[in-house]
Amino acid sequence: MTRIVLAAILLIATAPALADVLIIDEVRQVERMTLPRNGQSKANIEAQYGAPKKRHEAVGDPPISRWEYEDYSVYFEYDLVLFSVLHPGHVIEKS
Average pLDDT over residues 36-53: 95
More confident residue, 53 or 71: 53
CA separation for the pair 32, 47 (Å, rounded):
21
Residue 86 has a pLDDT of 83
Torsion of CA 18, 22, 28, 32, to 10 degrees: 150
What single DSSP character describes residue 37?
Answer: P
Residue 46 has a pLDDT of 96
Residue 47 has pLDDT above 90, yes or no: yes
Residue 33 has a pLDDT of 74
Residue 43 has pLDDT above 70, yes or no: yes
